[in-house]
Structure 1
Amino acid sequence: MTNSDFHRSATSLVSRVVGNGATARWIRAHFDYSETDWCLLWPFGRNENGYGLFGDRPKVKVHRIMCEYRNGPPPEKQPEAAHSCGNGHLGCVNPMHLSWKSRSENLKEMYQQGRKPMRYKLTPVQVDEIRALKNRARPDEIAKQFGVTQSTIREIHAGRIWKHDRKDHRIFTEDEIRLIRATHWREKNAEKFSKEFGVSISTIHRIRAGDSYGWVTP
């Protein structure tokens, strides 16, 4: 199947670019954009990570549409549309900057470009800290601190993901954090605190080192 045949198929993202709406017209007008030295920035709506979005239910990332138009369907082992410019988070959708790559290839390129990929996996301790920050900091600030999306923060705060199903789940108060940090280890070590609060010893160590609940001041 040629690229043009695939673009007309039901599974093609390109086939969804129909109608006379401003976003569809813009995409069609830039399918054959050939400038390689400059990024082509999406001028419409983006997600919280800066990537352009098109359509509805579900929305599609524009850079994937552009990548498909130029390179055909994604290979089975290379499903990610990678940016050679490193500016996907700024809304670049230049088809000349896009190619299909594996997850490991994409991550390697991001590191080479000096970008740290978003961290999607959280530890239970981090989730507890995110819950403790509810109504204390804005979702976008919390998301940036933990390297996740704002939607992830909202889902955690709403109790839709990472539900309270762990035995060692605990949200510390600011006074408890100050007590743990102010108490000398010879007076009360991490093991004693862990038993008192029902958490792991490593959780206490992280709190004392400031790696967790870093926003709590003395």
Structure 2
Amino acid sequence: MAIAESRRRGICSLEGCQRPHKGKGLCRLHLDRQRKHGSPLKHLQKRTPPGAPLRWLREQVGYASEECLIWPFARKDNGYANRNGESPLRIMCALVHGPAPSEKHQVAHSCGKGHTGCVSPKHLRWATPLENANDKRLHGTMLTGFKLHNTKIGPDGIAYIRGEGAGQKTRDLAKRFGCSPGRVNFYRRTAGRPVAIFRRREAGE
């Protein structure tokens, strides 16, 4: 069923689905699957056999190439390898270098391409949070300021809050920009600072 026809009839365009149309010719269930997995029929695709990811990691411990070794299974939204909520990076690093020196130690990439799914044993090492952060700065993979996908207020929004919105209620501005009232007050308190980086978050493992 075409998207236009799906909208006209008000139901999902997938054959056999009679749920109400939500968007792009799909119902809410199939639209969510499309956004999350890239296919509304993800549930019909062959599942990974139990234990296969761990077996694959053990088989790749001797990987000798200098090229990145890309994780062939599920990934997180940021592109990093994922295994039922566990970190394949930590598993691989432990297989190669032994257990982490402490609970605070993270897995660092010498290639700077963890976000592409790299799990190469030759590219991984244990590092402190500070060492890992320095690596990300060196590789240009640290997300800061308005590059963050969870930053809801951009430079224009901050300028509006400090200017035209100065006389408006905090809760109204928070609703307009989809943020907390505390965030609005923060930008008001920092009115003397340039519209630059106020929020930063390290991405990755």
Tell me the TM-score normalised to structure 2 length: 0.51
Contact 1:82 1:98 in 2 (8 A): yes
Identify which range, 19-28 or 43-52, moves more after superposition: 19-28
Question: Does residue 1:86 correspond to 2:112, yes or no?
Answer: yes
> Which of 112, 118, 140 in structure 2 is aligned with 1:114?
140
Question: Aligned-pair distance for 1:46?
Answer: 0.4
1:60 alignment counterpart:
86
Matches within 5 A, 1:14-163: 21-35=51-65, 37-54=66-83, 56=84, 59-76=85-102, 79-116=105-142, 118=143, 145=146, 147=148
Question: Aligned-pair distance for 1:34?
Answer: 2.1
Aligned AA (2:67): W
1:167 alignment counterpart:
none
CA distance 1:32–1:179, change in 2 (3 Å): closer
CA distance 1:104–1:69, change in 2 (3 Å): same
Determine the C-alpha separation between the residues in 2 that align with 1:46 and 1:201: 35
| Runs (5+) with no aligned partner, structure 2 | 1-48, 171-183, 198-205
> Which of 169, 175, 185 in structure 2 is aligned with 1:197?
169
Question: What is the aligned-residue RMSD (CA, Å)?
Answer: 3.9
Instruction: String of CA shifts for 1:9-67, please: whole Å, max 9, x gaps.
Output: xxxxxxxxxx85432332222122122x200000111001111111x3xx211111111
Contact 2:162 2:187 in 1 (8 A): no
Aligned AA (2:135): E
CA distance 1:43–1:178, change in 2 (3 Å): same
Percent sequence identity over aligned pairs: 31
Contact 2:108 2:127 in 1 (8 A): yes
Determine the C-alpha separation between the residues in 1 that align with 2:55 and 2:103: 32
Instruction: String of CA shifts for 1:104-152, please: whole Å, max 9, x gaps.
Output: 1111111112222x45xx9xxxxxxxxxxxxxxxxxxxxxx56256xxx
The secondary structure found in structure 2 opposite 1:32 is coil
Contact 2:58 2:95 in 1 (8 A): no
Contact 1:66 1:93 in 2 (8 A): yes
The secondary structure found in structure 2 opposite 1:69 is helix
Matches within 5 A, 1:170-181: 177=160, 180-181=163-164
Determine the C-alpha separation between the residues in 2 that align with 1:45 and 1:99: 22
CA distance 1:205–1:72, change in 2 (3 Å): closer
Kindly tell me the number of residue pairs found equivalent between the two proteins.
131
Determine the C-alpha separation between the residues in 2 that align with 1:201 and 1:23: 45
